Amino acid sequence: MKFINEYNDPKLINKFYTLIDKIMNEIGRPVKLMEVCGTHTMNIGKAGIRSRIPKKLILLSGPGCPVCVTPSEYVSYAIELAKKENTIITTFGDMVKVPNSKEEALKIFPKNKVRIVYTPLDTLTIAKDNPDKEVIFLGVGFETTIPVIGQVLLMAYEKKLKNFSMLTSLKTVPEPLKILSQNENNKIDGFILPGHVSIIIGLKAYEPLGIRGVVTGFEPLDILMGIYKLLQQVKNNEVQIENQYPRAVTYEGNIIMQNIMKEVFQVADTRWRGLSTLPKSGLIIKKKYEKYDTMKRFNIKEMEEGEPKGCQCGNVLIGVINPRECPLFGKACTPDNPIGPCMVSSEGACSAYYKYEQ
């Protein structure tokens, strides 16, 4: 296929629904697949895919939303920094509404104190225009956004900015997939792997994990083709990484972006909401650039927090429950009054279910 509208062709979509029905009958048992991209979660809901596939084919929403997997204490660090008289916090929009364990959020601060930016580059301009303020960018994300965050840090280094730093919570996708694949209490048969992240890291990043996975695009047909490929592997008892998204994803990935990440960041153990601390699953700023590390610049002592009272976002992120099974979902916790980050983020599973799958 050459054109994007072909991936929304009703005839082709119905063909793959039929193929999925047929192969599920041949497999003859329940199958659990997990998508690990917030955009997939949203598009699965928007296209009504869960309502059309066989009931024995269970699609779980995994830890693919960067805001959602950011631990509660990170929000507390940001709130304390915002309280300081000489600081300006810059962040993407979703982080403003994410509550910590006390249900506090950055939205309580005035707009001149906590500023929403559309690119980390805006933060450098704000720092230049406010030389008497400490400007702190909240760097949250996966490999899709990490290279851009790294490039901005390099630019700050080259410009010798003295009033700029980053409070980072950077996660890498492959490592938690292996942990999730080994969970015998919630056995996952395969992973719908993220298209955007895979453009950066390439297929090769998944091969050492020993998991069953297919990288897919984001149109309805992309997702259905990915599901069908996974079901073929299940039926044939195969375990491999396949690429349904060759129009964007290569084996090697984007080497330039990978090199930016390697220059600025180093691998480290890191905390994930719902998954605790995972070894070598995150990135921290290297010693060479540590003067731009907010944690070190402000001598912040690390701590750990739990979830907001009653919030089941952690269990949603690892596929133990779906959002509707959380007792707060759609009642105490709504997009207008989010208690957990899975309801806050535009890529969160609870937000997707509330919008499309109530």
Query: Tens digit of pLDDT for each residue in 338-350?
Result: 999 999 988 899 9
CA–CA gap between residue 32 and residue 181 (Å, rounded): 11
What would the pLDDT profile of 284-334 be if each residue is shown by its tens digit? 999 999 999 999 999 999 999 988 889 999 999 999 999 999 999 999 999
Alpha helices in 160-298 (DSSP H): 174-181, 195-201, 220-235, 255-264, 294-297
Is pLDDT of 186 > 90?
no
Is pLDDT of 5 > 80?
no
Tell me the average pLDDT of the chain: 94
The secondary structure of the chain in percent helix, strand, coil, rounded to multiples of 5, reads 45, 20, 35
Q: Which CATH superfamily is domain 67-172+253-297 in?
A: HypD, alpha/beta domain 2 (3.40.50.11740)
| Residues 6+ away with beta carbon under 8 Å from 84 | 134
Q: Where in the chain is the domain with CATH 3.40.50.11750?
A: 4-66+174-243
Q: What is the mean pLDDT of residues 141-167?
A: 97
Tokens describing residue 82: 């915002």
Is pLDDT of 264 > 70?
yes
How remote is the C-alpha of 20 from its chain's centroid? Answer: 27
Query: Which range has the worst mean pLDDT, 15-29, 91-105, 160-174, 216-230?
Result: 91-105
Q: How many CB atoms lie within 10 A of CB 83?
A: 10
Q: What is the mean pLDDT of residues 22-32?
A: 98
Q: Where in the chain is the domain with CATH 3.40.50.11740?
A: 67-172+253-297
Task: Supply the pLDDT for residue 74.
Answer: 96
Q: Under a CB-based contact definition with an 8 Å cutoff, are residues 75 and 99 in contact?
A: yes
Q: What is the mean pLDDT of residues 231-236?
A: 98
Is pLDDT of 1 > 70?
no
Is pLDDT of 220 > 80?
yes
Tokens describing residue 287: 């010693």
Give me the percent of the chain exceeding a pLDDT of 90: 88
Tokens describing residue 51: 């309502």
Q: Considering the domain 4-66+174-243, what is its CATH architecture? A: 3-Layer(aba) Sandwich (3.40)
Task: Supply the pLDDT for residue 358.
Answer: 77
**Full-prediction pTM beyond 0.95?**
no
Residue with tokens 């082709």: 12
